[in-house]
Amino acid sequence: MGTRLQGTVALVTGASSGIGAATAQSLAAEGAAVALVARRKGRLEKLAAAIRAEGGTALAVAADITERQQAADAVATVVAELGRLDTVVNNAGLMHIGPAAQALSEDWDSMVEINVNGVLHVTHAALPHLIRAAADSPRRVADLINISSTAGRVARPGTAVYNLTKFGVNGFSEALRQEVREQGVRVGVVEPGTVATELSSHLRDGVREAIERQVDGLELLRPEDVADAVAYIVTRDRRVAVNEMLVRASDQSW
């Protein structure tokens, strides 16, 4: 195990699968105690057990972070149980794509609820703890990382509302970066290209097949590739702030 994050506590949302699970593992491998937040408690417990088996510290916290109170309670539980909060990775998210004219408006709502409101609820609850951690930790720095997307930089037909949420995350992150910089909190976005995860399993029939055709034959990113990017940012010395990382699959043209 690495030691660069020894003595720190990291909270990762959406840690029950995909990018969040890989990120929690990579931060734990650097010595951070990790809090795993998502709704599927069984998945979180399993990952926590795997991290402990490797010698790490992990806490499973089941929460639906689209609910403001549940997000606030999750953050409070992490601080109560693990003592502090140095790193937050807002990763939980959902993608419903397809032509806007045929979309279900509840699909738009559910994307806004998790991709935007989930980020806001966790960030709001976590910021005072991150500011405190930056002031009292030996590293004198804390990190807030938001998992955006290539869809946070490039708008394309079929992804209008997903673009809305991820462009929004990028704007929010940049404004916040300027605000909390002087208090030692670094804010960054990681913008993955297409990653092999469960994200596309939530797509409606018809759309899912169209996406599968689009990526057919491409070597997709793995969740660990994005986890590497997050770990790179968090393990930098406090003089270095990596505020944005765009990580596409080499085969991806868009």
198 near ligand NDP (CB under 6 A): yes
Nearer to ligand NDP among residue 67 and residue 174 (C-beta): 67
DSSP assigned state of 195 = B
197 near ligand NDP (CB under 6 A): yes
The end-to-end CA distance of the chain, in Å, is 36
Residue 55 Cβ vs ligand NDP, minimum distance, rounded to whole Å: 24
Q: Is 134 exposed, middle or buried (0-12, 13-18, 19+ CB in 10 A)?
A: buried
Among positions 31, 56, 184, 192, the unique one binding ligand NDP when judged by CB under 6 A: 192
Q: Determine the Cα–Cα distance for residues 116 and 111; give it in Å rounded to an integer.
A: 8
**Beta bridge mates, 143:** 87, 186
By CB under 6 A, the residues from 96 to 125 that bind ligand NDP are 114, 118
Which of these segments, 13-21, 25-33, 101-109, 230-238, binds ligand NDP (CB under 6 A)?
13-21
Q: Check 107, 159, 162, 231 and give the catalytic one.
A: 162
Q: Which helix (DSSP H) or strand (DSSP E) does residue 59 occupy?
A: strand 58-62
Taking the CA atoms of the chain, what radius of gyration do you get in angstroms? 17
DSSP string, 85-153: --EEEE-------S-GGG--HHHHHHHIIIIIIIHHHHHHHHHHHHHHHHHHSTT--EEEEEE--GGGT
28 within 8 A of 34, measured Cβ to Cβ: yes
Q: Determine the Cα–Cα distance for residues 202 and 14; give it in Å rounded to an integer.
A: 14
By CB under 6 A, the residues from 206 to 245 that bind ligand NDP are none
Residue 83 Cβ vs ligand NDP, minimum distance, rounded to whole Å: 23
Nearer to ligand NDP among residue 40 and residue 140 (C-beta): 40
Which of these segments, 129-137, 181-189, 197-205, 206-214, binds ligand NDP (CB under 6 A)?
197-205
Residue 66 Cβ vs ligand NDP, minimum distance, rounded to whole Å: 4
Among positions 8, 9, 18, 86, the unique one binding ligand NDP when judged by CB under 6 A: 18
By CB under 6 A, the residues from 21 to 80 that bind ligand NDP are 38-40, 43, 64-66
Active site residue 232: no
Catalytic residues: 162
Interface contacts to ligand NDP, rule CB under 6 A:
13-14, 16-20, 38-40, 43, 64-66, 91-95, 114, 118, 147, 149, 192, 194-195, 197-199
